[in-house]
Structure 1
């Protein structure tokens, strides 16, 4: 059975034995469709990255924005980093915001990028939205301050932009794979919501083979600390030991992936995120970052 839906018909996780259900084959139907194994880059088979990490990005795509594009004043203020949208509304209502020299107290007022906005006595300019995708190597964490021996992921993308970007979700130093950075507060908020269900795919390496009955338990949903954990798909990785597992779920919290297998008595040796909301590791070696294309940004907002 082909992995995923829509245009992902050529991607799949499958086992090394014909008798074992393939990734995405919940109804145990057979398929005559061909295709390569689902992989880190979306096209090639799973493999180990060899070579030293490269920390340079790829050329930034040019995005032309019309001067007529209007946004709400509170969002303009929030984009500048002055305060949150909610706090911006308070400043607007209190008469502390002016547009082109005129005080604005109207809620929902819209401004153009060319307008001069003064917030609490200071001229502000909204940051341009930046979206950066990193293939994170080992040894870097999203919370590096907790461990002085661990470097922060921001060290890998610091030279990419002057914008105040932040990673979406958390990753410990041992987890590798796709990590998205942005200064778009709407995207950060969207992907941190518990009900956000855009697909994330992980390859998990366990200390021993995953029993088929445990695989079925995960597929059917398991309860951890009185919470039911639902996954979209799970299967053995093709042509790999049964300790190599592919798992697809909506959560951007890597800790959930580890908890699933540890709850069943397995030690998780490695977790590698190979897909995030439709973004893959294609042409993105370990340790390398790149800017998203305009179409990828659109897809991300609609995910």
Structure 2
């Protein structure tokens, strides 16, 4: 998980008109230029640029000063090299061309109940998953991927755009296991066919594993796959003549529903975030 830099950061101490300035150094003995008072871009509002960068999770404050001095950081299109420069939350701050988010990255795992919309405009009177996270955080989090209104199970939320985009790329894929309830018994022949891979709209969908669930009727099966195509599980069974009565995602990456009741959420651990980033 990211570190929330709690240090306040003092105001720039240089004076206009030739007063002495306190020297600060990067690596070795090379001084960092401190010409803040000469810059027309300077302001006294907002937070210090190095803290903004540190809050985004790129590096520490000390390292941020080095990158700023080297010209790696732009604010609203202008390269900033001054120590102590302040920015506002609405400013466009970029590190090596990548826009930064000054909010502390957050990662929440929800065990979604049936009947909640994930994205889009819900029908009149419909409820959204954001209602379930109303007291979880003040940050603006977005779901990674989708689950249908009637689907249940694990759903990840974050404001970490880099991780979200990585997990959303079809070529990366991510391990998912679903508990599926069908409208009729799933035949052994169809189970074997799914193991070999089924074709949806001309493209083969590889299923890692599929089996009947122990001590359950053959209307209930478990299916494991890495595809993140929309409605892919429902489409697999529909292509074989079955309707899905219930769909529950029980595993997402290395995350499970253990100790997470339906409708509840929890924060991911630092190790869980690292593991997701390795997919």
TM-score by length of 1: 0.63
Corresponding residue of 2:87: 118
Decide whether aligned partners of structure 1 residues 64 and 261 sit closer, same or farther in structure 2, where only a CA change above 3 A counts: same
Does the CA-based 8 Å contact 1:167-1:180 persist in structure 2? yes
- Which consecutive aligned stretches of 4+ in structure 1 deviate over 6 angstroms post-superposition? 64-67
Does the CA-based 8 Å contact 2:200-2:239 persist in structure 1? yes
Structure number, greater radius of gyration: 2
Corresponding residue of 1:300: 276
Decide whether aligned partners of structure 1 residues 99 and 152 sit closer, same or farther in structure 2, where only a CA change above 3 A counts: farther
What displacement does 1:244 show?
0.4
SS in 2 for 1:248: strand
Pick the aligned partner of 1:218 from 189, 194, 199.
194
What displacement does 1:98 show?
2.6
Unpaired runs of at least 5, structure 1? 1-60, 68-72, 81-90, 102-114
What displacement does 1:275 show?
0.4
Does the CA-based 8 Å contact 1:99-1:118 persist in structure 2? no
Corresponding residue of 1:127: 103
What displacement does 1:138 show?
1.1
Pick the aligned partner of 2:80 from 98, 108, 111.
98
Does the CA-based 8 Å contact 1:145-1:152 persist in structure 2? no
What displacement does 1:150 show?
2.0
For residues 301 and 116 of structure 1, the distance between their equivalents in structure 2, rounded to whole angstroms, comes to: 32
SS in 1 for 2:231: helix
Corresponding residue of 1:138: 114
Unpaired runs of at least 5, structure 2? 8-49, 58-72, 94-100
1:161 aligns with 2:130: no
Does the CA-based 8 Å contact 2:2-2:104 persist in structure 1? no
What displacement does 1:117 show?
5.3
For residues 221 and 121 of structure 2, the distance between their equivalents in structure 1, rounded to whole angstroms, comes to: 31
Where in structure 2 are the equivalents of 1:1-303 lying within 5 Å?
Answer: 76=53, 92=74, 95-98=77-80, 100=82, 116=85, 118=87, 122=91, 126-253=102-229, 255-303=231-279
SS in 2 for 1:234: strand
Corresponding residue of 2:43: none
Tell me the matched-pair count: 215
Corresponding residue of 1:83: none
Larger RCO (CA under 8 A, 6+ residues apart): 1
Decide whether aligned partners of structure 1 residues 253 and 289 sit closer, same or farther in structure 2, where only a CA change above 3 A counts: farther
For residues 264 and 238 of structure 2, the distance between their equivalents in structure 1, rounded to whole angstroms, comes to: 30
